[in-house]
Amino acid sequence: MALGRYAGARRWVFNWALATRRGYYAHHGKTLPRRELMRQLTALKKREETRWLRDIDSQLLQQAVSDLDRAFLNFFEKRARFPHFKSKKDPSQSFRIPQRCVLNPQDAKGEGKGKGKVYLPKVGHIKVKQHRPVEGKTRSATFKRDCTGNWHITLVCQVEMPDAKAPSRPETTVGIDLGFASFATVTNGTDGSKTQKIPSQKHMRRAARKLRRVQRSFSRKKKGSNNRVKQRLVVARTHRKVANQRNDFLHKQSHALVKSNSAICVEELSLRGMARTKLARSVHDAGLGSFVRMLEYKCLWEGKHFVKISRWFPSSKLCRMCGALKSDLTLRDREWVCECGTVHDRDINAAHNIRTEGMRILRSGVSRAGGSGAGELGILAVGHTESVNACGAFVRPPVGGKKR
């Protein structure tokens, strides 16, 4: 298959560039520049034993060298581990072409909805099931094969994003408290009558019995046998179904919240730290990080405000009525009584406080930035370069050491 051949070529060039760079450093004690690797790649295609590289798109091979250079830069900036060799036994394979990949609708009259063709250089047109209409100019295409053998194509398009406007009504600003007992508590008013609790779905826990059964069957198969290969696909499909259910739930909830509100306030969570506790399974099953990310980029698309509150803000311990702070509040306390006599539901009180703090930051940001939030205030600057678009940017913060 052409896609598998392209993915194999990308993997081969990446491994070749990594071995060449490591060998050069071991012999000379300094790094081999990327432009020198590009020059050697051009000479490599002229050799008889590697003439097969001529059948692969040149931009794909150059992108593999650029990916290696970015991997080393992430390692030196302490954002990732040392680059490792890619294995052809890995069921997940991918490659990216920065230009020349164009999506052509199958029928311009509207027939054949959801179908189209993607042009791949030196391969031709490939039939695809189109997820949504493409807007703007296509910039790059990423082809990725999942563990079940299905290929997915992600197209990056360049569009003009609208600027965010200040919320016209306070009730269009919502505060969201994320949790595990309830997936999210959403409030858009000053009283409890406008509060909604979204129940947690627990997709992984509901499928745990089936996952144990198929995994047990996989463990009993003889290594190297065809039955083991078939059962591996069964396990992968079972996990994919759970992942699809979770993503479908997250997309529907985030879409509904962004469409019906002009500003969304959430609290920053230390998910990496929470994943090291006894709540690790619930943390991964809930998908809170993906939910916040969806809210963020969908607010960017729709021209809405997105405010992220500091994780050190005492949203659960602060009484929304009198402002008193209950410092001895524990995770077991789902309800607590303030000194003023108000009985608080922990999640509802936190959602109200997050909304109040978000509106304060939003007013401050609007007054300073004139309609779009300021980055230092924790507001996504809608329509500007400070967005969640990671094209050419560093997507992971440095861990220790110097910071960019």
Cα 247 to Cα 216: distance, rounded to the nearest angstrom: 26
**Which residue type does 401 have?**
G
Element (H, E) at 38: helix 34-44
Q: Where are the alpha helices (DSSP H) in 91-220?
A: 203-206, 208-220
| Catalytic entry in 57, 69, 285, 347 | 347
Cα 182 to Cα 198: distance, rounded to the nearest angstrom: 6
- φ/ψ of 240, rounded to 5, equals -65, -35
Cα 268 to Cα 361: distance, rounded to the nearest angstrom: 14
Contacts of 87 (CB under 8 A, 6+ apart): none
Going from the C-alpha of 295 to that of each of 4, 108, 162, 374, the distances in angstroms are 34, 33, 16, 18
| Catalytic entry in 57, 177, 285, 357 | 177
Going from the C-alpha of 208 to that of each of 201, 205, 220, 238, the distances in angstroms are 13, 5, 18, 10
Query: What is the CB neighbour count within 10 angstroms for residue 315?
Result: 24
The answer to whether 55 is a known catalytic residue is no
Listed residue (265, 270, 357, 350) closest to 316, CA to CA = 350
| Catalytic entry in 57, 267, 285, 296 | 267
Cα 20 to Cα 5: distance, rounded to the nearest angstrom: 22
- Residues serving a catalytic function are 177, 267, 347
